[in-house]
């Protein structure tokens, strides 16, 4: 809309040009900042409110939309921590094990596949590469039934294996693609030099390429961390024994078990479950932004 207003400039008939009738730049910028800050607050308000509410007595959650704490109440946290069959720390540990396994799996398997796609020539490479890209868009729901049947026949239900083993097999094609893009950007002369020195592909990969692709590995690590930590669908399907629950599955059972009775402790554990994501975001922001900008992943 502003552009229309701007274009209606009083026609200068006198000859000594009066200033164009527009809002001065500093004022416009201030307005823009004000709007953006208000929007940012509106967007983050629910999350901040949840954090604040988790520190209030449960009864107050339904009465105080404000963000100011009158008193500091840690009881929700101690209540929530012990509300389920195991202390919440147990679920945090389970999630941490799954996340760690997935990170290692992705780093090893995706970087190997990426090296082959970026640097080696082989039969029907285009076909394989196209297939790999195609699997990026494959919904997990399409493969979950046969996968479940296979893992259940192997006796892997209620273990972490169905969550970790696929990552060891480079099935997160996103990261293969991200790493391929990165390796393509590295100068080929480095490989050639190593080859002249007598290095084979495993050596070039380990000694030349891997050390140079640390930023791509960092991006992969952070995204794997956040996605696996948040992942609910496959953890819900494969982990049905409360002993094996990860954080999202535990939180969900918490919700269904205690509806409307203890929002305070539920909020408290929700905050606990979001904390690692938030920390990963703070630490890895640079890589996250780079990662989505180059591959468009979420």
Partner 1 sequence: MSAIGELQRLSAAKGSPPRKRDNKAAFLFLLPWFAGLVLITAGPVAASLLLGFTDYNLLQPPEFNGLENWTRMLGDERLHQSLLVTFKYVLISVPLQLAAALGLAMLLDRGLRGLSFYRSAFYLPSLLGSSVAIAVLWRQIFGAEGLLNQLLDLFGIQGRGWISDPDTALSTLIVLNVWTFGAPMVIFLAGLRQIPAMYYEAASVDGAGRFTQFRKITLPLLSPIIFFNLVLQIIHAFQSFTQAFVVSAGTGGPSDSTLFYTLYLYQRGFNNFDMGYASALAWLLLLIIAAFTAVNFWAAKKWVFYDD
Among residue numbers 58 through 117, which ones bind partner 1 (CB under 8 A)? 61-65, 108-109, 112-113, 115-116
How far, in Å, CA of 80 to CA of 14, rounded? 76
CB-CB contact of 117 with 287 (8 Å): no
CB-CB contact of 267 with 54 (8 Å): yes
Contact positions with partner 1 (CB under 8 A) in 202-221: 202, 205
How far, in Å, CA of 178 to CA of 162, rounded? 24
- Binding test (CB under 8 A) with partner 1, winner from 21, 31, 32, 89: 32
The smaller minimum CB distance to partner 1, of residues 115 and 160, is found at 115
The smaller minimum CB distance to partner 1, of residues 160 and 267, is found at 267
Quick note: the x/- pattern for partner 1 over 154-193, rule CB under 8 A, is ------------x-xxxx--x-xx----------------
Task: Compute and round to an integer the Cα radius of gyration of the chain.
Answer: 26
Nearest to 180 by CA among 107, 117, 123: 117
The smaller minimum CB distance to partner 1, of residues 96 and 236, is found at 236
Least distance in Å: CB of 101 to partner 1? 14
- Binding test (CB under 8 A) with partner 1, winner from 139, 155, 187, 198: 139
The answer to whether residue 12 forms part of the interface with partner 1 (CB under 8 A) is: no
The smaller minimum CB distance to partner 1, of residues 81 and 128, is found at 128
The answer to whether residue 55 forms part of the interface with partner 1 (CB under 8 A) is: no
The answer to whether residue 144 forms part of the interface with partner 1 (CB under 8 A) is: yes
Least distance in Å: CB of 60 to partner 1? 11
Least distance in Å: CB of 205 to partner 1? 7
Quick note: the x/- pattern for partner 1 over 273-292, rule CB under 8 A, is xx--xx--x---x--xx--x
The answer to whether residue 34 forms part of the interface with partner 1 (CB under 8 A) is: no
Nearest to 129 by CA among 142, 140, 118, 143: 118
Nearest to 167 by CA among 157, 179, 175, 159: 175
- Binding test (CB under 8 A) with partner 1, winner from 120, 190, 206, 214: 120
Phi, psi (degrees; rounded to nearest 5) at 16: -90, 105
Nearest to 55 by CA among 87, 77, 84, 83: 77
Contact positions with partner 1 (CB under 8 A) in 238-267: 247-248, 251-252, 255-256, 259, 263, 266-267
How far, in Å, CA of 91 to CA of 251, rounded? 9
Nearest to 87 by CA among 239, 242, 261: 242
DSSP single-letter state for residue 60 = G
């Amino acid at each position: 809309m502003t552009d229309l207003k701007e274009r209606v400039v009083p026609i200068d008939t006198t000859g000594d040009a009066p200033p164009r009738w527009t809002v001065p730049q500093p004022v416009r910028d201030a307005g823009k900042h004000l709007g953006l800050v208000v929007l940012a607050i509106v967007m983050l308000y629910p999350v901040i409110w949840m954090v604040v509410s988790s520190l209030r007595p449960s009864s107050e959650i339904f009465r105080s939309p404000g963000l100011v704490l009158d008193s500091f109440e840690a009881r929700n946290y101690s209540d929530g921590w012990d509300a389920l069959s195991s202390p919440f720390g147990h679920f945090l540990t389970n999630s941490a094990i799954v996340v760690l396994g997935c990170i290692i799996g992705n780093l090893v398997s995706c970087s190997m596949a990426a090296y082959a796609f970026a640097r080696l020539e082989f039969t029907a490479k285009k076909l394989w590469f196209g297939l790999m890209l195609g699997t990026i868009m494959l919904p997990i729901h399409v493969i979950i039934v046969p996968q479940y049947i296979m893992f259940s026949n192997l006796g892997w239900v209620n273990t972490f294996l169905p969550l970790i083993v696929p990552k060891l097999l480079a099935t997160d094609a996103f990261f293969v693609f991200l790493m391929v893009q990165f390796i393509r950007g590295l100068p080929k002369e480095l490989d050639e030099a190593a080859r002249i020195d007598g290095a084979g592909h495993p050596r070039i990969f380990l000694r030349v390429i891997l050390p140079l692709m640390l930023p791509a590995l960092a991006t992969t690590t952070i995204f794997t961390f956040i996605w696996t930590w948040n992942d609910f669908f496959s953890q819900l399907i494969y982990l049905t024994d409360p002993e094996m629950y990860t954080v999202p599955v535990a939180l969900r059972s918490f919700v269904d078990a205690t509806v409307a009775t203890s929002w305070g402790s539920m909020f408290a554990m929700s905050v606990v479950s979001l904390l690692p994501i938030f920390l990963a975001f703070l630490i890895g922001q640079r890589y996250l932004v780079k990662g989505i900008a180059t591959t468009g992943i979420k």
